[in-house]
Amino acid sequence: MQSSLIIFTRYPEPGKVKTRLVPALGEEGASDLHRRMAEFTINTAGQVNLPGLRIKTFYDGGDLELMKGWLGADIDLFPQGNGDLGVRMGRAFENAFSGGMQKVLIIGTDSPSITHQLLRLALFKLETSDMVLGPAVDGGYYLIGIRKQAAPKALPGIMNDIPWGTGGVFDQTLKKAQELGLNVYQTEMLGDIDRPEDLPLWQEASESEGSPLISVVVPTINEEDNLPALAENLVTEKRLETIVVDGGSSDGTVRVARLLSSNVVISEKGRWVQMNAGAQAASGEILLFLHADTRLPRGFSEHIRQALADPDVVAGAFRFATDLDSASMKLIEWVANKRASRLGIIYSDQALFIRADLFRELRGFPDQPVMEDYELTRRIRTRGKTVLLSHKAVSSARKWKAVGIWKLTAIHYAITGAYLMGFSPERLAGWYRRLIKNSAKGEGRCETGKRQKAGGRRQKGE
């Protein structure tokens, strides 16, 4: 699907840009900051790398030659034209749609917290939403997207009579969209840099540029429904690349993955095979292995970098948790975290992270269908210190619910015990599959029986 990402910016002429920052930075300093933020945003946009995506930069001030001299001749540059901001954006939308674009996204250059994964998510959401809006902390918005089917309804009314430059821009735009019957998806709220008190945002963004890249490896089998929520979980993290490794899904996992990630790997089925294939495709200095149904806390990438800043620490994980709120499940989580903190035994549903060079020295996950994460962490402990972060990785309890909390726990302990006794991983994998299948069927039969009995009691009572 053809889509367009449009960047609105200004030529960095001293005294004409970022004027509210002049008291703190001076005219030259404010102009230089605007220049660097625009270049930062254009670079971020270039990392989106979606098939069929055209990136354009619309400028105000200066002229084409000055803009080319600043940004280079390989950037698609267009003048914004006359009118207020709403008129100019509306014209950009209409030109893009008339040129065959199906989804159009406009961003400014004032929010360095915009990530390439956020832009991908916004474009993805335009498949099912009429509009996408990115609220800014100051009451404006840093991003607006419209899909072509909604354009006749949305344009030009969505941008008329908006008090640009005030704290009511987002609320009034959203209200207009709702009055027009548009389905609106809201992205994360981010800060803009307009005033001196906003400057720490730029410092944070600048510092992140030099931080180690984290490659997130996500093995998938039929995770079409989980990938959008996972993308939302990763959307604000800096210096991140996501690698989805599919092992033969029969649903729309691969299609969704290609919209949400710039790196999709097709491999043979098998969690250890898929994670090793993802690591091989990774370019980051840190590898993070993450299940598609696991959610990490906001700022998790910085927690990982801080942990690995200690040269003695070579790997780690997050505390284990699930989305099931029951006493039994909480007890199992507590035991798992005690085991991890005291014995250093980490499993992949805790979002294992490791220095990429060490992972490759250890030749990755061992070639075995079960206990591969146990075996890798055992090897890791011979090479350095592992840490268990205080923050939680919250996984879906769908398997616990399907099999039964205590049944699945018993199966896990039985498989672990048999592995330690020397049974082969291949034999254990067969046992595990049969035990899970039979237990899940048993749970289904029990539930069916309960429903039948309940139905019988109701009939008798009637």
Q: Are strands 141-147 and 184-186 parallel, antiparallel or unpaired?
A: unpaired
Residue-level pLDDT at 182: 96
Average pLDDT, the chain: 92
Q: What is the pLDDT of residues 40-66, one digit of tens each?
A: 999 999 999 898 999 999 999 999 999
pLDDT band at 321; cut points 50, 70, 90 = very high
**Structure tokens of 219?**
């093995």
Q: Using alpha carbons, select from 337, 412, 411, 350 the residue that is nearest to residue 376.
A: 350
CB 144 within 8 A of CB 130: no
Q: What is the pLDDT of residues 69-104, one digit of tens each?
A: 999 999 999 999 999 999 999 999 999 999 999 999
Interval 289-299 mean pLDDT: 96
Q: CA 57, CA 77: separation in Å to the nearest integer? A: 5
Other CB atoms within a 10 A radius of the CB of residue 179 amount to 10
To which H or E segment does residue 450 belong? helix 425-461
Q: What is the pLDDT of residues 96-145, one digit of tens each?
A: 999 999 999 999 999 999 999 999 999 999 999 999 999 999 999 999 99
To which H or E segment does residue 77 belong? strand 77-79
Interval 14-35 mean pLDDT: 96
Residue-level pLDDT at 254: 97
Task: Report phi then psi at 53, rounded to 5.
Answer: -95, 130
Report how many helices (DSSP H) and strands (DSSP E) the chain contains, helices first.
17, 15
DSSP letters along 148-180, please? GGGHHHHTTGGGTT--TTSTTHHHHHHHHHHHT
Q: Using alpha carbons, select from 197, 200, 175 the residue that is nearest to residue 21.
A: 197
Q: What is the pLDDT of residues 394-447, one digit of tens each?
A: 999 999 999 999 999 999 999 999 999 999 999 999 999 898 888 775 554 444
- Give the pTM: 0.89
Residue-level pLDDT at 209: 85
What share of the chain has pLDDT > 90, as a percent? 87
Let me know if 360 is exposed, middle or buried by CB neighbors in 10 A (0-12, 13-18, 19+).
middle
Task: Report phi then psi at 380, rounded to 5.
Answer: -60, -40
Residue-level pLDDT at 459: 36
pLDDT band at 346; cut points 50, 70, 90 = confident
